[in-house]
C-alpha cells in the first residue's frame, strides 16, 4: 500500500521517540499520536507505515489504536472540540451549553462541519472540574463556560 510516508522532520522526531525507551514497542502510542496530530486521523496507510517502523503487523497497530479514544479513523476538523459532560460539568449545566454549541455550529454532537473546521465531541472528565463547565479545543482548555463565552471563543478561531 502506498500513500503514506513520514516527512524528514517526522523521521527525526521518531528517532527521538525511540531513544526514550529501552524497547521499541513503547513507541507505539507516541507514533500514533504523531500521525494523528499531523493528519487529523490515522489512515490505514499510516497504520502500515507505523507497523513497518514498529516491526509488527498493521492489524496489531489497529488493535492498539482502536482502544484509545484520541485516535480517529475518520478525519476530524481543524478544531476538535471536546466538551466535558461528566459530573462536575453536569452539575454546572453543561448539557444546555453543549446543545447551544452544536446549534451554533449547525451540527450534531459527534459530527464535523462541512468546511472541516470544527468537530464536536462529547467527552468524559478532562480534569478542570474546579472551572466547570469546561471544554478543550485542540490543546487549549477553556473553563467557566457560558453561552456568551463559547460564542466568543468559537468566533475567535479562524
What are the residues binding another protein (CB under 8 A)?
A: 20, 22-23, 25-30, 32-33, 54, 63-64, 67-71, 82, 85-88, 90-92, 124-132, 136, 139-141
Taking the least distance from each CB to another protein, the nearer of 57 and 151 is 57
Contact 85, 98 (CB under 8 A): yes
**CA-closest candidate to residue 73, choices 47, 105, 111, 103:** 47
| Closest to another protein by CB, 17 or 102 | 17
Tell me the closest approach of the beta carbon of residue 154 to another protein, in angstroms.
19
CB of 106 to another protein, least distance (A): 26
Q: How far is the CB of 129 from another protein (least distance, A)?
A: 4
Taking the complex as a whole, how short is the minimal distance between the CB of residue 124 and another protein, in angstroms? 5
Q: How far is the CB of 78 from another protein (least distance, A)?
A: 16
Of the pair 41, 104, the CB lying nearest another protein is at 41
Please say which residue, 116 or 144, places its beta carbon nearer to another protein. 144
The set of cell numbers assigned to 101 is 454549541
Residue (63 or 106) nearer to another protein, CB: 63
Amino acid at each position: 500500500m502506498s500513500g503514506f510516508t513520514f516527512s524528514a522532520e517526522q523521521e527525526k522526531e521518531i528517532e527521538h521517540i525511540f531513544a526514550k525507551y529501552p524497547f521499541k514497542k513503547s513507541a507505539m502510542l507516541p507514533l500514533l499520536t504523531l500521525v494523528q496530530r499531523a493528519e487529523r486521523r490515522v489512515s490505514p496507510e499510516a497504520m502500515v507505515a507505523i507497523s513497518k517502523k514498529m516491526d509488527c503487523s498493521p492489524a496489531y497497530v489497529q488493535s492498539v489504536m482502536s482502544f484509545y479514544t484520541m485516535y480517529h479513523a475518520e478525519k476530524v476538523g481543524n478544531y476538535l472540540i471536546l466538551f466535558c459532560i461528566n459530573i462536575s460539568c453536569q452539575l454546572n449545566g453543561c448539557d444546555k451549553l453543549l446543545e447551544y454549541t452544536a446549534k451554533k455550529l449547525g451540527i450534531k454532537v459527534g459530527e464535523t462541519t462541512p468546511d472541516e473546521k470544527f468537530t464536536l465531541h462529547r467527552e468524559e472528565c478532562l480534569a478542570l472540574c474546579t472551572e466547570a463547565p469546561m471544554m478543550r479545543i485542540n490543546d487549549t482548555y477553556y473553563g467557566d463556560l457560558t453561552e456568551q463565552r463559547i460564542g466568543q471563543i468559537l468566533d475567535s478561531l479562524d
